[in-house]
């Protein structure tokens, strides 16, 4: 049974329920015994603390005037929400001043924030994914990735953060929904923790999460169907073919929430490019690459429709890309549908 009370239910196929009560701090320390300095462990603990603070404000957003717009348009050309700003400030505050994080790349900031030039890690993050859903009380989340600098003694340079996702040493997300969950990987499987608000701790829920072989869902925004190219429409036709049982369509509109559901039940999430906007909407550095890292650790894949997302070296902090994440066989099939039109 799970370490949590109440019982979160049976583990998804491919995952194991935590058998003993364990906090995320203890689990991190036990999982990385070879990390002599403990720097990465403490960095992830800082992110977990940020998740607790953001979760607290998220639960009370309607009571604390955090549901509206901040009156600012961010670098993406999107209206910043008050929770966007709060989450970004919390992440920056908690990650700075400890000698662990050299620089932060955030969706909400036009440029890199250099915090400590001599620190060994760079954190990339979307502090509030799905923020357009905040007012509707729909699940939202924080996505993060961690790079280790090749030479912490040198001056910070662009190649410290404009790197392919395969260089990530850790990635994860915090999902703010009916419960708050932190899901992460340091390259040794994907592990999930649920926040117990009564004791203020993230407690182990599932270890070694993997996409179930029998996928249940596909997550696509059919409102954009008229704008997709032929490769995408071929994939939709394949998903809805008559010769075999099809997957059910489920779409929330929050990448973290859609990815999380499909991680537990199997499936594929996609945010394609469009005919007039082939670059797509999601950002490679702090959305696509971290989620693709998690997908790979869970036995799945991430792709832009032609290439593995983990193999793409970004050229800009806020570079956009089509994103497809989920069971490897479904992502492979999607790539074949795109290749058939070339």
- Could you tell me if residue 16 is inside a domain? no
pLDDT value, residue 35: 57
Q: Could you give the percent of the chain with pLDDT greater than 70?
A: 85
Is the separation of the CB atoms in 192 and 243 below 8 Å? no
Predicted confidence band at 68 (pLDDT cuts at 50, 70, 90)?
very low
- Could you tell me if residue 294 is inside a domain? yes
Predicted confidence band at 270 (pLDDT cuts at 50, 70, 90)?
very high
Predicted confidence band at 18 (pLDDT cuts at 50, 70, 90)?
low
- Could you tell me if residue 12 is inside a domain? no
101-111 per-position pLDDT tens digit = 999 999 999 99
Residues 227, 199 share a domain: no
pLDDT value, residue 62: 52
Overall number of domains in the chain: 2
Is the separation of the CB atoms in 319 and 313 below 8 Å? no
217-241 per-position pLDDT tens digit = 999 999 999 999 999 999 999 998 8
- Could you tell me if residue 4 is inside a domain? no
- Could you tell me if residue 6 is inside a domain? no
End position of a domain, from candidates 189, 207, 225: 207
Residues 235, 178 share a domain: no
Q: Higher pLDDT residue, 77 or 278?
A: 278
Question: Average pLDDT for residues 150-167, to the nearest whole number?
Answer: 96
Residues 194, 305 share a domain: no
Residues 316, 169 share a domain: no
| Token duo for residue 16 | 């194991």
Residues 95, 60 share a domain: yes
Is the separation of the CB atoms in 324 and 270 below 8 Å? yes
Residues 256, 201 share a domain: no
Residues 306, 243 share a domain: yes
- Distance separating alpha carbons of residues 283 and 317, to the nearest angstrom: 8
Residues 177, 50 share a domain: yes
Q: How many residues does the chain have?
A: 342
- Could you tell me if residue 248 is inside a domain? yes
Is the pLDDT confidence value at 73 over 80? no
Residue 254: which CATH number? 3.40.190.80
End position of a domain, from candidates 207, 238, 263: 207
Question: Average pLDDT for residues 37-47, to the nearest whole number?
Answer: 91
| Token duo for residue 265 | 């039940």
pLDDT value, residue 246: 76
pLDDT value, residue 37: 61
- CA 131, 137, 139, 145 dihedral sign is positive
Q: Higher pLDDT residue, 37 or 313?
A: 313
Predicted confidence band at 13 (pLDDT cuts at 50, 70, 90)?
low
Q: Hey, how many other C-beta atoms are within 10 angstroms of the C-beta on 9?
A: 11
- Could you tell me if residue 233 is inside a domain? yes
Residue 121: which CATH number? 3.30.540.10
pLDDT value, residue 29: 85
135-148 per-position pLDDT tens digit = 777 899 999 999 99
- Could you tell me if residue 153 is inside a domain? yes
Can you give the residue range of the structural domain that contains 243? 217-339
End position of a domain, from candidates 207, 228, 249: 207
- Distance separating alpha carbons of residues 306 and 291, to the nearest angstrom: 17
Is the separation of the CB atoms in 95 and 123 below 8 Å? yes
Residues 134, 31 share a domain: yes
Residues 238, 202 share a domain: no
Residues 92, 172 share a domain: yes
Residues 254, 176 share a domain: no
């Amino acid at each position: 049974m799970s370490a949590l009370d109440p019982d979160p239910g049976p583990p998804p196929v491919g995952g194991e329920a935590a058998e003993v009560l364990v906090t995320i701090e203890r689990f991190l320390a036990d999982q990385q015994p070879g990390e002599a300095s403990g720097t990465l462990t403490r960095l992830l603990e800082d992110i977990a603390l940020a998740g607790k603070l953001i979760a607290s404000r998220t639960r009370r957003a309607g009571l604390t005037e955090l549901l509206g717009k901040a009156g600012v348009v961010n670098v993406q050309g999107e209206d910043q929400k008050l929770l966007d700003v709060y989450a970004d400030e919390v992440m920056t505050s908690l990650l700075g001043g400890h000698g662990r994080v050299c620089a932060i790349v955030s969706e909400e900031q036009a440029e890199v924030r250099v915090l400590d030039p001599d620190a060994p890690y760079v954190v990339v993050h979307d502090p509030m994914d799905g923020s357009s859903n905040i007012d509707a009380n729909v699940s939202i989340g924080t996505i993060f990735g961690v790079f280790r600098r090749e030479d912490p003694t040198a001056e910070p340079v662009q190649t410290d953060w404009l790197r392919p996702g395969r260089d990530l040493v850790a990635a994860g997300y915090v999902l703010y929904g009916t419960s708050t969950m932190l899901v992460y990987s340091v390259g040794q499987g994907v592990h999930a923790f649920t926040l117990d608000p009564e004791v203020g701790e993230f407690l182990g829920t599932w270890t070694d999460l993997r996409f179930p072989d029998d996928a249940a869902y596909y997550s696509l925004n059919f409102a954009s169907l008229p704008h997709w190219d032929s490769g995408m429409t071929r994939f939709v036709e394949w998903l809805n073919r008559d010769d075999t049982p099809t997957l059910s369509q489920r779409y929330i509109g929050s990448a973290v929430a859609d990815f999380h559901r499909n991680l537990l039940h199997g499936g594929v999430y996609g945010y394609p490019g469009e005919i007039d906007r082939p670059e797509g909407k999601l950002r490679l550095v702090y959305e696509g690459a971290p989620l693709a890292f998690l997908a790979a650790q869970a036995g799945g894949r991430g792709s832009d429709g032609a290439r593995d997302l983990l193999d793409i070296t970004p050229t800009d902090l806020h570079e956009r890309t089509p994103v497809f994440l989920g069971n490897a066989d479904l992502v492979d099939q999607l790539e074949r549908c795109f290749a058939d039109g070339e």
